[in-house]
């Protein structure tokens, strides 16, 4: 059925068509820790065409056997022991090859074209797991080498640029080679099962639609909190920071899915049209607004899990006088009919007390309070560490009197569907690329609309010397975080 549906779509090939997956940056963390384990799982479950080939590309000099050994070592570490089988790996490794080249050198793409040979009917997927400053050159070199034919697709990892201007330049360069239907801008958060269940929750259940609006919702919190520091990404992160690395893509994408209107149908263009409308409706945060509506922080030394961790400015490849933020909280408003007056609070940070990605919908209290007890009326959608949806309601305490307490209606997605293994987000998204389904990927205007809202905040921080506030590693963030909500009589969810 999927193959039949895909054949009806213009430019999309049925699943029986062979495919080459070429991974630029094939020796990097993303390829070894995420992409290859995801492709291994798809192979293990019979999701890949029997003639699909995987070619890793990087500057390092490796033989095919040496790269396969490197890939196996990382896959063994990433894949659950019960899911890794030596015979399955052996058959997967038959697909896997390596080609040493420099993505910045045009001549190397001529060598790559000879290696691949001519096969007019073969889909080629170019996955750019590289630094964004190589995106434009790679696209141009692919075109010059005759490798960007109508069957070719390109996958771009975030961030797409570091500003609106740079994002437009990258999109223009990519668009000069690949038409928009063949460009897949990936955000792995959109591949998470719970994120897609958010759409099912909203648009397949009559219970929520009447109350999913300003008249019934007090505010929304979207949190992506990490206990890890920058690890080995210091050189990249020190030039990006939490606003560019997380808010501009992951958190704004989650906001769009919470806030968007129901698309007229469930396909790529209809879904992305609605997301763009939300991004265009975001109220700008300009100039001195950054002082009232944003909190910027940077972690200092502290303890995580009982272990001492260094301050951000002592991390590897980070400047000792770095002014880069590792924490951001923002009060966002959507200027449209459904959400006027409802604040959305976004927060993300590294080296925090707990790892959690979640969306909290706080409904308004009942208009007249009859009973004693706390307040509930919350919907919590948790993306990690576990995937679950919890609706908190008020119920009577057993015994005499009408004393109420919050109780939870809890849907654990892993238990509900009795799955032995949950799909990783990259598995789902890679399969979508192979099948040509761009529903869960960002469109060009979507990326640029997000940057158009983010750029003035970055400029406001710079113009008004909004330096990051220090917070100890292992805490909940800067002290100023609480004031963002408390001044309006609200508080962050625990």
368 in active site: no
User: What's the pLDDT score for residue 215?
Assistant: 92
Residue 197 shares a structural domain with residue 150? no
Per the annotation, binding residues for NADP(+) are 59, 158
Residue 327 or residue 14, greater confidence: 327
User: What's the pLDDT score for residue 241?
Assistant: 94
Residue 56 or residue 132, greater confidence: 56
- The count of structural domains within the chain is 2
Residue 261 shares a structural domain with residue 143? no
Structural Rg of the chain based on CA atoms: 24
Mean pLDDT for 239-250 is 94
Let me know: does 328 contact 295? Beta carbons within 8 Å: yes
Residue 279 shares a structural domain with residue 224? yes
Residue 140 or residue 424, greater confidence: 140
Residue 365 or residue 12, greater confidence: 365
Residue 195 or residue 326, greater confidence: 326
Q: Write down the residue that tokens 């940056």 correspond to.
A: 25
DSSP string, 175-244: HTTS-GGGEEEE-GGGGSHHHHHHHHHHHS-TTTGGGSSTTTEEEEEEEEE-S---TT-HHHHTTTHHII
The percentage of the chain sitting over the pLDDT mark of 90, rounded to a whole number, equals 68
Mean pLDDT is lowest, of 25-29, 172-176, 291-295, 370-374, for 370-374
User: What's the pLDDT score for residue 3?
Assistant: 37
Tell me: the pLDDT tens digits for 42-88?
999 889 998 899 999 999 999 999 999 999 999 998 887 778 889 99
- Catalytic residue (one of 141, 162, 219, 250): 250
Q: What is the C-alpha separation between 40 and 92, in angstroms, rounded? A: 7
Is 438 within the bounds of a domain?
A: no
Domain ends where: 99, 134, 157? 157
Q: What is the C-alpha separation between 209 and 219, in angstroms, rounded? A: 16
Is 85 within the bounds of a domain?
A: yes
Let me know: does 270 contact 277? Beta carbons within 8 Å: no
User: What's the pLDDT score for residue 442?
Assistant: 94
Residue 197 shares a structural domain with residue 241? yes
Per the annotation, binding residues are 59, 158, 188, 192, 226, 245, 350, 355
Question: How many C-beta atoms lie closer than 10 Å to residue 371's C-beta?
Answer: 12
Domain ends where: 110, 139, 157? 157
User: What's the pLDDT score for residue 466?
Assistant: 86
Range 292-321 burial, b when 16+ CB lie within 10 A, else e: ebbbbbbbbbbebeeeebbbbbebeebeee
CA atoms 305, 308, 309, 313: torsion sign: positive
State whether residue 425 is helix, strand or coil.
Answer: helix
| Res. 420: pLDDT tops 70 | no
Mean pLDDT is lowest, of 145-159, 215-229, 411-425, for 411-425
Residue 219 shares a structural domain with residue 314? yes
Is 44 within the bounds of a domain?
A: yes
DSSP state of 117: -
Cross-sheet strand order for the sheet of 356-363: 372-373, 403-412, 388-396, 378-384, 356-363, 217-225, 343-349, 327-333, 294-300, 469-472
Residue 94 shares a structural domain with residue 214? no
Residue 243 shares a structural domain with residue 341? yes
State whether residue 303 is helix, strand or coil.
Answer: strand
| Res. 7: pLDDT tops 60 | no
Domain ends where: 100, 133, 157? 157
| Res. 397: pLDDT tops 90 | no
Average pLDDT value over all residues in the chain: 90
Residue 289 shares a structural domain with residue 347? yes
| Res. 158: pLDDT tops 80 | yes
Residue 281 shares a structural domain with residue 234? yes
Let me know: does 294 contact 478? Beta carbons within 8 Å: no
- Find the CATH number of the domain harbouring 334: 3.30.360.10
Alpha-carbon distances, residue 293 vs 171, 186, 311, 438, 482 (angstroms): 30, 29, 26, 34, 12
Is 7 within the bounds of a domain?
A: no
User: What's the pLDDT score for residue 419?
Assistant: 63
Cross-sheet strand order for the sheet of 152-157: 96-100, 53-58, 19-24, 123-128, 152-157, 183-186
Confidence of residue 373 (pLDDT cuts 50, 70, 90): low
Is 174 within the bounds of a domain?
A: no
Is 4 within the bounds of a domain?
A: no
Residue 269 shares a structural domain with residue 388? yes
Residue 87 shares a structural domain with residue 235? no
Residue 212 shares a structural domain with residue 150? no
Tell me: the pLDDT tens digits for 79-115?
877 788 899 999 999 999 999 999 999 999 999 999 9
Domain region containing 83: 19-157
- Find the CATH number of the domain harbouring 152: 3.40.50.720
């Amino acid at each position: 059925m999927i193959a039949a549906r895909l054949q009806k779509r213009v430019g999309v090939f049925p699943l029986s068509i062979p495919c080459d997956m070429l991974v630029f940056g094939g020796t990097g963390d993303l390829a070894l820790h995420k992409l290859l384990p995801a492709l291994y799982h798809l192979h293990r479950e019979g999701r890949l065409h029997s003639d699909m080939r995987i070619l890793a590309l990087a500057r390092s000099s490796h033989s095919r056997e040496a790269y396969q050994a490197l890939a196996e070592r990382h896959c063994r570490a990433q894949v659950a022991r019960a899911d890794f089988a030596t015979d399955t790996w052996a058959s997967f490794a038959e697909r896997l090859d390596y080609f040493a080249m420099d993505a910045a050198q045009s001549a190397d793409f001529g060598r790559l074209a000879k290696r691949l040979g001519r096969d007019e009917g073969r889909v080629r997927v170019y996955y750019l797991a590289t630094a964004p400053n190589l995106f434009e050159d790679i696209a141009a070199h692919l075109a010059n080498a005759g490798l960007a034919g109508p069957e070719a697709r390109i996958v771009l990892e975030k961030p797409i640029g570091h500003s609106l201007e740079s994002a437009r330049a990258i999109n223009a360069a990519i668009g000069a080679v690949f038409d928009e239907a063949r460009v897949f801008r990936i955000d792995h958060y959109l591949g998470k099962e719970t994120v897609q269940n958010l759409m099912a929750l909203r648009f397949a259940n009559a219970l929520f639609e009447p109350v999913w609006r300003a008249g019934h919702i007090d505010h929304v919190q979207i949190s992506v909190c990490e206990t890890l520091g920058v690890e080995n990404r210091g050189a990249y992160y020190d030039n990006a920071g939490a606003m560019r690395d997380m808010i501009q893509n992951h958190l704004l994408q989650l906001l769009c899915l919470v806030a968007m209107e129901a698309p007229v149908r469930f396909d790529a263009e209809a879904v992305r049209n609605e997301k763009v409308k939300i991004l265009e409706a975001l109220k700008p945060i300009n100039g001195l607004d950054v002082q009232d509506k944003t909190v910027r922080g940077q972690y200092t030394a502290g303890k995580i899990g009982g272990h001492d961790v260094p301050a951000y400015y002592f991390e590897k490849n980070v400047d000792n006088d770095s002014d880069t933020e590792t924490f951001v909280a923002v009060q966002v408003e959507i200027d449209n009919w459904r959400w006027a007056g409802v604040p959305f609070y976004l927060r993300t940070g590294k080296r925090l007390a707990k790892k959690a990605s979640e969306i909290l919908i706080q409904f308004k209290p009942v208009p007249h309070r009859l009973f004693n007890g706390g307040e509930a009326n919350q919907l919590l959608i948790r993306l990690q560490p576990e995937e679950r949806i919890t609706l908190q309601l008020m119920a009577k305490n057993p015994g005499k009197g009408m004393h109420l307490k919050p109780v939870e209606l809890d849907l654990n997605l892993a238990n509900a569907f009795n799955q032995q293994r949950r799909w990783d987000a990259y598995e789902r998204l890679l399969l979508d690329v192979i099948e040509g389904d761009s529903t869960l990927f960002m469109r060009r205007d979507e990326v640029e609309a997000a940057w158009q809202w983010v750029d003035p905040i970055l400029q406001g921080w710079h113009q008004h010397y909004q330096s990051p506030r220090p917070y100890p590693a292992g805490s909940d963030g800067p002290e100023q975080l609480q004031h963002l909500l408390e001044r309006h009589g609200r508080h962050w969810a625990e």
